[in-house]
């Protein structure tokens, strides 16, 4: 129902452990089985007291996760792809700013929900707000709901707290009729940073 980047709960050592225990063995197994993979392999991971555990693998970007990570990527994504296809390891450059993204969903999601609710207010959002459409459809000049996960609104700021406050304040401009979103996205990370 939302995501943020970076994730201050996880250290560089945690990331290195995930690469060593999950990602590299996965890549090695694909090659060993004669099924090398070219493309995006998204690994949804959870850090536990026993180390990283796999929630899911997808052969595409994860939606909310990507929508908060890619705005921080300073490197040109096409150059990254080209380097990988040429067998090179690209150097990635990142913006220092932090991103918070909030999913706007249809009431009832993940269960039954109605389609066709008009979404008002998107034209009033500030220029620093990124809007990612997921379950929308344009009907006569109006955006309407056409799925459970409807939109993700995100922004990039100097801290997670600033980004969180900004995106939630802008969400007040979007009509709430038939829509909902969580109000606690990034709270855990912000409280960890505040007390560390």
Selected residue with higher pLDDT from 36 and 71? 71
1-6+62-196 maps to CATH 3.90.600.10: yes
- The phi, psi pair for 188, rounded to 5°, reads -60, -45
Q: How far is Cα 25 from Cα 137, in angstroms, rounded to an integer? A: 41
| For residue 120, pLDDT beyond 90 | yes
Give the tens place of pLDDT for each residue, 55-107: 999 888 768 999 999 999 999 999 999 998 998 999 999 999 999 999 999 99
- The phi, psi pair for 131, rounded to 5°, reads -120, 115
The residue among 168, 170, 178 whose CA lies nearest residue 118 is 178
Tokens of 148: 């459970």
Q: How far is Cα 188 from Cα 190, in angstroms, rounded to an integer? A: 6
Burial label, 67 (beta-carbon count in 10 A; 0-12, 13-18, 19+): buried
Q: How far is Cα 23 from Cα 33, in angstroms, rounded to an integer? A: 16
Give the tens place of pLDDT for each residue, 44-58: 888 899 989 999 998
pLDDT of residue 196: 47
Quote the percentage of the chain above a pLDDT of 70.
97
């Amino acid at each position: 129902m939302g995501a943020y980047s970076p994730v201050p709960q996880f250290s560089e050592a945690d990331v290195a452990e995930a690469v060593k225990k999950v990602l590299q063995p996965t890549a090695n197994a694909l090659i060993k089985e004669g099924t090398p993979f070219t493309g995006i392999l998204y690994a949804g991971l959870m850090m536990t007291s026993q180390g990283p555990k796999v929630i899911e693998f997808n052969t595409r970007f994860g939606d909310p996760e990507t929508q908060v990570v890619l705005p921080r990527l300073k490197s040109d994504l096409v150059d990254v792809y080209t380097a990988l296809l040429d067998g090179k390891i690209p150097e990635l450059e990142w913006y220092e700013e932090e991103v918070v993204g909030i999913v706007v969903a249809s009431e009832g999601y993940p269960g039954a929900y109605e389609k066709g609710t008009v979404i008002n207010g998107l034209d009033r959002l500030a220029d620093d707000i990124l809007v990612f459409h997921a379950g929308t459809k344009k009907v006569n000049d109006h955006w309407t709901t056409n799925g459970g996960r409807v939109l993700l609104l995100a922004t990039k700021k100097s801290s997670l707290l600033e980004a969180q406050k900004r995106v939630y304040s802008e969400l007040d401009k979007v009509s709430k009729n038939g829509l909902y979103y969580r109000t606690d996205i990034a709270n855990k990370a912000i409280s960890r940073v505040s007390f560390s």
